[in-house]
Structure formats: structure tokens, C-alpha cells
Chain A
């Protein structure tokens, strides 16, 4: 039993590592991409379309598709993180875009008429006012990534999915729960924490 507890801890940390890396990369790409899309309306269809399509691919299939891909694919953690990034991208990208486009037109017009540069408009007005929406996207992405990351074990990515797949193979419910319960707890804690941050960012 002691060795099981030890393994739960190790796999939980591994799971967290997958999720944190994936969310950091997806946040960087998604927020930067979302901001870029507010300045390049003609790119919106293509980029959002790509992110949408990624979401529709069943997760087990996406992990599988990446295995034969040279350089970025293969077996192991980096492939798993790549797949998780592709899933997490859409909610972050979309919320960044809608958050910034949702800034009151009168506020934006004032900022421009006061002589703000494009950069000042973005960082002093648009991003702060969209922060709450962007954070909401980040929250959705994080919670779903924590669940999806259990599939990383299928391509040798490790994490709590290792227990789940082992339990499925040996018809051992205890093992499945040893993977599922910690994953659910991480998701609840992340959801609560990011929800709290969202409320702190509340702007009337």
C-alpha cells in the first residue's frame, strides 16, 4: 500500500507537469494569437477554424495521429504536451479575441482620441478590460486539460492516466480510481483557484 501511495504522488506530480507545461505554452500562443487576431480581422476565419477543428478530433485519436509525425511527434512527454496544447488553444484564443472586441466602443474611441498609441491602447485599456474574459478561457482550458492529460499515458506520456490504463487492462477498479480521484481533485482545485482569481479581477 505504501508503494501505491508513493506511485500516486509521483504520477500526480508528473500529471501536473504535463498540464502546467501545456497550459503555459497554450496561454502564450493563445493570448498572443488572440491579440494578433484583433488587429488582423481577415485572419480570424482561418485561425479560429484551425483551433475549432483541433477541438473536434477525438483526443485518443489526436494523440495517436501525432506518434508517426517526424520531429514534433513520437512517443513520450513532448508529444503529449503538444496534443494538450492543441486542445487548450481554442478557449484561450477565442476568449482573448472576444474579450478585447467586447471593450466598450466609447472607451476605445476615447483612448484613441486622447492620443494613445496602439500599444498603449492595448496594454493600458484593452488587455486590462478583457482580463476577466481571458482568465475565464484559461480556466476552461486548464480544467479540460487536466482530464485530457490522462490520455497521455496511451502514448507513453506518463501521468495519472498510467493508473487508469493499467486498471482497465487488469479490470482493477482500485487502480482506475487511484488515477481518476487525484485527477478530479486537481481539476476541482484548479477550477476553484482560477475562479477566485477571476472574481478578484472583476471590473464593473
Chain B
């Protein structure tokens, strides 16, 4: 099976700070690989290399077999859905215009864009009759993040990147959206790279988990295997689960 994304000995440094050390892993079609790690572990840095927001200092990141440095960045990015914690909806665009952005940039007919937007809003649980003409400021945090997910799915990209998308939400909304993520993932079977610092979220959503520690890949395993991982950093994360059980 050909990897959708492949990291080949990727390192990244800014000044004297080495953020990633010799990172190598592959992401296969249809899987959700969760990059788990503490703040500063390098997981967001790694994610941003996939859509060429950052470039490796050494090594290379291949997307569909082609290095990101070779891809036309505009074409590459329009093939990759991107969801971030702060959502980043355009405040001066309606919800429909936010969701339909990439299809419009790609030159779809307005009627096709509208149809696609209506379908997507329905799929993320925001009926278009009620939400299409509203503005982001009129929505709650959870609703905005649903719009963010719909926007990332809009042009039907083969690959999705998620950077702690549910991190800023209250626990109840977070669980709702995690559940919806699983449903959508089962339905569309997209390839996804998902960054989080929440070990529960990693176990729930990931088909594999990559644990990053100080810019190095510490563990790469399925959720079942991860529960028995023996490295100190994996133990530290698994200890969070026990704490929650006690409380």
C-alpha cells in the first residue's frame, strides 16, 4: 500500500532550538494517525510540514509520493483539509461562504458550491436553512468548530489535518464532536493526521498513535498496543488515564 504521507528523517530547527529530530513515519490510506505529545513536543510543527506551512531543515515530507518542496503549495493545500483549535473562520464571510471557500477557489459553479455546502452543513449537524446565512460571531464555540470541520471537508480532499481541534471546547461539547468525528470517519474513510495532547482522545480516535517526546518519535503503535507501551513518556501519558479513573 502506498503511503499518503511519508516523513523521511525529518529534522527542524529554529536558531539553536531543535524542534524535530530525525522523524520518520508513514500515514496509510483511510487511517487516522494521532500524534500525541506534550506542549512543545513538536507535534504541531510536524503537522504543519504536511501542507507546507513549514519546511524541514533536513529530510523530506512526501505527500502522495511527492516532496512538499516540489509540490505547488497552492495545489497541495487545496487537496488537504485543515482544522485548527482556533478554527480561524473568516468573520466577514457567512457560514455558507466559509464552508464553500475552497470549492469556490477551485472554480466550482455557484450552484454546485451551494449544494455541497448544504449537504456538508447537514452532515455536521447544522441545518443549512438555519445556519447558512449567519456569521461566525453568532455561533457557539462548538458550532464554529463544526463549521471548521465542514470547511475542511468541502472540496472532498483525500487528506485531513487536525490540530487539537476540540481542545478549546467544554468537555460535553468535546465528547459530542469526538463522536461525530468517529461517525464521519466511518462514513468517508478519509486519511487523517490528528494532533492532540489528550491521551483519551488519542485512544478514542486513532487507528494508530505516534507519541512524540522532545521532537522524537517515542512510540508508534495501535491503541491496544499503546496501552502496554513501556517507555517513560508513554507511562506518563497512561498515568493520566488512571488519575481520571480515581476521580
Contact = CB atoms under 8 A, between A and B. Distances in A.
Interface of A: 104, 106-117, 120, 124-125, 128-129, 203-204
B74 A115 contact: yes
Interface of B: 51, 53, 73-78, 80, 82, 84, 86-92, 101-102, 105, 135, 137, 151
Contacts of A110: 82, 84, 87-90
A85 to B, nearest CB: 30
A128 B92 contact: yes
B135 to A, nearest CB: 7
A114 B87 contact: no
A113 B90 contact: no
A114 B78 contact: yes
Contact of B105 (A108, A115, A203): A115
A115 B88 contact: no
Contacts of B86: 104, 106
A117 B77 CA distance: 11
B53 A113 contact: yes
A135 to B, nearest CB: 14
Contacts of B80: 113
**Interface SS, B side:** mixed
A156 B84 CA distance: 60
Contact of A107 (B51, B74, B88): B88
A114 B137 contact: no
A114 B91 contact: no
Given A129-B91, A203-B91, A204-B91, A115 B78 contact: yes
A107 B90 contact: yes
Contacts of B102: 114-115
Contacts of A113: 51, 53, 77, 80, 82, 84
Contacts of B135: 204
9 contacts: A104-B91, A107-B91, A111-B90, A113-B82, A113-B84, A114-B82, A115-B74, A203-B91, A204-B135
A182 B89 CA distance: 46
